[in-house]
Amino acid sequence: GMGWTLLGAGLLLALYTLLRHGLRRSPPLRDRPELRGRTAIVTGGSSGIGAATALELARCGARVVLATRNAPRGEAAARRIRTETGNAEVLFMQLDLASLRSVRAFASAFLRQEPHLHLLINNAGVSVGGTTEDGFSLPFQVNHLGHFLLTQLLLERLQSCAPSRVVIVASRAHCAGRLRPNTLGRPPSGLFSAFQDYCDSKLANVLHARELATRLQGTQVTCYAVHPGFVNTELFRHTPLWLKPLFLPLAWLFFLDAAEGAQTSLHCATQEGLERFSGRYFADCRLQEPWPPARDDRLARALWEASERLVGLGGPGENPSP
């Protein structure tokens, strides 16, 4: 009866405390880098890790563009960050990664309005969803294809402002990703298709960084893939309703606050001396080896070529070649 319940609760709490402090070594607080005169874009910057990343970049003095879909939320987040940091140079620009047309519109508006770009933080992500107006699975387009197109359209500006960096928010979930370049962007079938789709998009993120680095050698534009930490745990978001009660304690256990989740993105965006690790994968603010498929250079190249085709790049004059 009650005794067992209390004992169980006590054990859970002890386990929680142990794991929370054992698993989660917070990175040491470092001196804030000086980013005055630098311009950053953070996609999905109105909430979660994106907002925490934008807030910290603004604290360092950067001009920060929150590139996000929902205008009222984007404007509110920009206002909140301006107030909290005293940095007036934080603005919202609309970007819907689920629409390649919107990605193009955002890129041309940005290039018209903003003379500089030093940091592109491809942070936005979704874990489930249907099909986009472009006919791709929503997670694959938002997490990979939309960001792929965005990065290509902004590459010349990043190069003219070099040294500059691209940070791609991936996930440890890339370990379960499977990519077949000929069926790219089509939702997988099967019971756990939503989870599979998400994992595939995250493998694409790690491979995107790898191939981008290869193509950018000698340009002083570097790029990094990061695992942000399980903020609000990805596993939890995909759980069928009837399983949620079992996952609640786990979700609570692995819940990271957004500021902690932003640490690795910020590390890769601002830490000095990371240039030689361009194309590599970071977690817990440290260089880590991703899973073997994420180190497959042939797959990385095939993914790149298929992505170019799917977003309509690679034609003459359109694709900024490094």
pLDDT in tens, 171-205: 988 988 999 888 899 887 776 787 889 999 999 99
User: Whose CA is closest to 168, among 193, 187, 142?
Assistant: 142
From the list 16, 198, 224, 281, the catalytic residue is: 198
Position 194 scores a pLDDT of 79
Which amino acid makes up residue 123?
A: N
Position of tokens 């790690």?
206
Tell me if residue 224 is catalytic: no
Q: In terms of DSSP H, where are the helices of the chain?
A: 2-23, 48-59, 71-85, 100-113, 138-140, 146-160, 193-215, 234-237, 244-254, 258-261, 263-270, 297-311
Q: How far apart are the first and last CA of the chain?
A: 68
Catalogue the long-range contacts made by 10-17 (C-beta closer than 8 Å, 24 or more residues apart).
12/249, 15/253, 16/249, 16/252, 16/253
Cα pseudo-dihedral 88, 89, 95, 97, rounded to 10: -110
8 Å CB contact between 115 and 257: no
Within 13 Å and on the Cβ side, how many CA atoms surround 201?
33
Backbone angles phi, psi at 67, to 5 degrees: -105, 100
Q: Which residue has the tokens 């953070």?
A: 42
Q: What is the pLDDT of residue 239?
A: 58
- Return the pLDDT at 27: 47
Degrees, nearest 5: CA angle 240-244-249: 150
Q: What is the pLDDT of residue 235?
A: 45
All structural domains of the chain, each given as residue ranges with its CATH number in brackets, are 32-311 (3.40.50.720)
The amino acid present at 107, given as its one-letter code, is A
How far is the C-alpha of 123 from the C-alpha of 227, rounded, in Å? 11
- For 12, other C-beta atoms within 10 Å of its C-beta total 13
Q: Give the contacts of 149 (CB within 8 A, at least 6 positions apart).
A: 100, 103, 104, 311, 313
Which residues, given as ranges, of the chain have pLDDT below 70? 6, 8-10, 12-30, 191, 230-256, 315-322
- Alpha-carbon distances, residue 19 vs 11, 23, 121, 247, 306 (angstroms): 12, 5, 30, 16, 41
